[in-house]
Amino acid sequence: MLFKVEMKVNIPHDLPADVANEIKAREKAYSHELQRQGKWRHLWRVAGSYANVSIFDVQDNAELQELISNLPLFPYMDITVAPLCRHPSSIHEDDR
């Protein structure tokens, strides 16, 4: 199943920089692993904000919830999720 996931990061200003940097490094490593596995198919930065729009390809809602809740930055995120399905006018065969 494909899901559009929008994530806006809100790191507290009083969080020590070394702690924030360590969390960001873990986040990057985790996201890279999910991308290599094909579960995090697309990742775009939203210009002008600390946010992204992503496409996840997972088995079901429960898998998506598990992956998202394990993001190191999860406690500092506002997240919206929308399920996606193939559009009948798409010319691409691999739209899942």
Query: For residue 87, is pLDDT > 90?
Result: no
- Answer for the pair 40, 31: CB distance below 8 angstroms, yes or no: yes
User: Predicted confidence band at 63 (pLDDT cuts at 50, 70, 90)?
Assistant: very high
Paired tokens of 43? 């990742």
pLDDT at 88: 86
**Mean pLDDT calculated for residue range 71-88:** 95
What is the distance between the alpha carbons of residues 61 and 58, in angstroms, rounded to a whole number? 8
Q: Is the pLDDT of residue 90 over 70?
A: yes
pLDDT tens digits along 32-46: 999 999 999 999 999
**CA dist., res. 87 & res. 50, Å (int):** 30
CATH-assigned architecture of domain 2-84:
2-Layer Sandwich (3.30)
Q: How far apart are CA 71 and CA 90, in angstroms?
A: 32
Residue 57: pLDDT band with limits 50, 70, 90: very high
Mean pLDDT of the chain: 95
Domain limits of the chain?
A: 2-84
Q: Is the pLDDT of residue 95 over 80?
A: no
Closest CA to 79 of 96, 61, 65, 89: 65
